[in-house]
Chain A
Amino acid sequence: MSPTAAVALAATYQHPALAAVETRGFLSPAGVEIAFLLVGLVTLGAAIVTVTTRQLVHAALWLVVALGGLAVEYLLLTAEFIAWVQVLIYVGSVVVLLLFGLMLTRAPIGRSPDADSGNRWAALTVAVAAAAALVWVVVDAFRTTWIDLDVPAAGSTRTTGESLFQNWVLPFEALSVLLLAALVGAIVLSRKAKPEPVEPKPSTPATGSAPATGSAPTTGSGPTIGSAPTIGSAPAPAPAPAEAPAAPAAADAPDPSEGGVR
């Protein structure tokens, strides 16, 4: 990759380190810039389809495309660390959570007739306004700034970590407290919604957290499955799985404490 392959998003204000490459115009077409634009178009298209499609699960999957496209854009801007974190958190976890929620509640194949909102125009206005503000701010701030590819990338893990924990520790910690508050809130909400379980807690022997095999026989429907806690999950004691026909079927009285093995 040639050193001229700097990425567009560039700047009027003259940072000394960036002055050398200032001769380039706004969006001179180098390969990386064209790729950046194309990926950007794909991302935008996927985002638009996400909010306009009538098929709920398709919307979630288009969201994967949009978020993935965003990760590619980060990569092109040399922000490698952010790119992978984007994939890890959003594609790997948030979308999975979304899909999980959809499948748990309603996810018909085909169109959902009620997947529409009367707030369409208000939402569009807010979205356009927010996008315009963001684009304006970013373009105005970085008009002709170029990323110098000869020095260590500004988005590498090392530089990100250093700036995060040297310059931005306080916001970082404040954010983590915010997240903790959200976590505690979620726990409180979910505990209140549930009535107290009537059955006594199975007195697990000292291993405390030993959860593996057969430690909690009373969880399901009470005494019916209490005798065969190891195999299968349904209340009816399932036959030994055909794929793992090894000994455990015979060992029908496992020591409840052996679950601690793993």
Chain B
Amino acid sequence: MNDALDVALRLLLVFVVFLTFPLIIGQTEHKVMAHMQGRLGPMYAGGFHGWAQLVADGVKFAQKEDVVPAGADRRIFQLAPAVALLPYLLVLLAIPIGPGEGAVGVVIDAGIFFVLAVMGVGVLGSLMAGWASANKFSLLGGLRTAAQLLAYELPMLLTAASVAMAAGTVSLVGILDAFEWWWLPWQIVGAIVFFVAGLAELQRPPFDMPVADSEIIFGAYTEYTGLRFALFLLAEYAGIVVLCGLTTVLFLGGWHGPWGADGLGWVWTLLKTAVLAFVVIWLRVTYPRLREDQLQKLSWTLLVPLSLAQIALTGVVKVVIR
């Protein structure tokens, strides 16, 4: 009974995080972008600095009609948002936020493979949406999504492999247990490559070619309305949570901090994740969108060689210090 309760509590907690954190990041994005552009952002909803803006947005989305285009492939069109969103929920289960095995939803032996594999599945949702909409803009968006994923999956995997080599394990909990502070400079190149590739996989600016609104309206999501559209948006922000959490765990030491790692480990994790999420927003405000050829070139001529170099460096250091 106690076990069942424990499992239920963990699942509930992960679910709550899954529902709230993306909203918090979304609200932060509203405010941070606004202030970076010399605006105030939402100020009215909820009274205090517009804190309830996204709740209001959610209510608005729920009220809208759910339209499926006449020419669309109905079932796939309707299934796509779930395929895009659910993988991130599953990934959240495996991200440890504190020391020990108590602070993770589910301890998974091959944690890195699990998270990367499941994250890759999420992109299928965009592809399905892009194809099933029967809209040329959507199809173009789907194509760009696929091209982008194929280009950026490789550096992401390679840099994750570098961390696994350094730690001697592919379990996320094990990696955190093995972490030392000097991994930070050692793996910094890998961290940047991983983060950038992750941004591209999430299609966040400056890698938002697949949803480039000035060219192809909103890419794969053009035909979506109401709740299903909101689910895609939620998937994007849940993706930010997952990417920042993963970068924190793999490269920034997760719950390790200068002090207080025993009791306050989860605070460190959340803090690092929040800082990374801020960087994601910052990049969106700062950089213009990359063109398709620039996207591909960035991945194949810069990120892949860098990640290979990082793996070589990891191997050399690993052999030297043994």
Asked if chains A and B come from one complex, the reply is yes
Instruction: Find A92's partner among B121, B214, B215, B291 (CB 8 Å cutoff).
Output: B121
**Is the CB–CB distance between A232 and B291 below 8 Å?**
yes
**Chain B residues near A216 (CB-CB < 8 A):** 293-294, 297
**Is the CB–CB distance between B123 and A96 below 8 Å?**
yes
Given A211-B297, A232-B291: A157 touches B127 (CB 8 Å cut-off): no
Instruction: Give complex CA distance A123, B148 in Å.
Output: 35
Instruction: Find B288's partner among A64, A211, A248 (CB 8 Å cutoff).
Output: A248
Does A47 interact with chain B (Cβ within 8 Å)? no
**Is the CB–CB distance between A81 and B131 below 8 Å?**
no
Instruction: Give complex CA distance A88, B169 in Å.
Output: 18
Q: How far is the CB of B298 from chain A (nearest CB, A)?
A: 4
Does A174 interact with chain B (Cβ within 8 Å)? no
**Is the CB–CB distance between B150 and A231 below 8 Å?**
no
**Chain A residues near B150 (CB-CB < 8 A):** 93, 96-97, 100
Closest to B116 in A: A88
**Chain A residues near B171 (CB-CB < 8 A):** 157
| 18 pairs from A and B in contact (CB 8 Å cutoff) | A57-B131, A85-B117, A92-B116, A92-B121, A93-B150, A97-B146, A100-B143, A100-B146, A212-B294, A213-B290, A216-B293, A219-B293, A230-B288, A233-B212, A242-B214, A244-B284, A244-B285, A262-B302
Q: How far is the CB of B9 from chain A (nearest CB, A)?
A: 20
**Is the CB–CB distance between A241 and B288 below 8 Å?**
yes
Give chain A interface residues in 35-88, CB to chain B under 8 Å. 57-58, 61, 64, 80-81, 84-85, 87-88
Given A100-B150, A212-B290: A84 touches B134 (CB 8 Å cut-off): no
**Is the CB–CB distance between B302 and A81 below 8 Å?**
no
Closest to A246 in B: B285
Contact string against A for B residues 106-148, beta-carbon threshold 8 Å, 1 for contact and 0 otherwise: 0011100110111011011001101110100001001100110
List the 10 closest pairs (A to B, CB-CB), nearest first. Answer: A92-B120, A211-B297, A88-B117, A84-B113, A100-B146, A87-B117, A233-B291, A248-B288, A209-B301, A211-B298
**Is the CB–CB distance between A96 and B127 below 8 Å?**
yes
Instruction: Give complex CA distance A233, B148 in Å.
Output: 15
**Is the CB–CB distance between A262 and B130 below 8 Å?**
no
Instruction: Give complex CA distance A127, B131 in Å.
Output: 30
Main secondary structure of the interface of A (DSSP, over half): loop
* Size category of the binding interface on chain A: 35 or more
**Is the CB–CB distance between B131 and A93 below 8 Å?**
no
Instruction: Give complex CA distance A101, B289 in Å.
Output: 25
Does A238 interact with chain B (Cβ within 8 Å)? yes
Q: How far is the CB of A108 from chain B (nearest CB, A)?
A: 9
**Is the CB–CB distance between A91 and B130 below 8 Å?**
no
Given A157-B110, A231-B289: A107 touches B214 (CB 8 Å cut-off): no
Does A205 interact with chain B (Cβ within 8 Å)? no
B interface, CB within 8 angstroms of A: 36-37, 71-73, 76, 108-110, 113-114, 116-118, 120-121, 123-124, 127-128, 130-132, 134, 139, 142-143, 146-147, 149-150, 153, 157, 169-171, 192, 196, 205-206, 208-209, 212-215, 284-294, 297-298, 301-302, 305
Does A18 interact with chain B (Cβ within 8 Å)? no
Instruction: Give complex CA distance A219, B130 in Å.
Output: 27
Q: How far is the CB of B49 from chain A (nearest CB, A)?
A: 21
**Is the CB–CB distance between A103 and B146 below 8 Å?**
yes
Does A195 interact with chain B (Cβ within 8 Å)? no
**Is the CB–CB distance between A96 and B305 below 8 Å?**
no
**Is the CB–CB distance between B149 and A96 below 8 Å?**
yes
Closest to B139 in A: A103
Q: A57-B132, A99-B142 are in contact. List 16 more A-B contacts (CB 8 A).
A: A84-B113, A85-B113, A93-B150, A103-B130, A109-B131, A156-B110, A157-B113, A231-B288, A232-B289, A233-B289, A233-B293, A239-B214, A241-B205, A242-B214, A243-B208, A248-B286
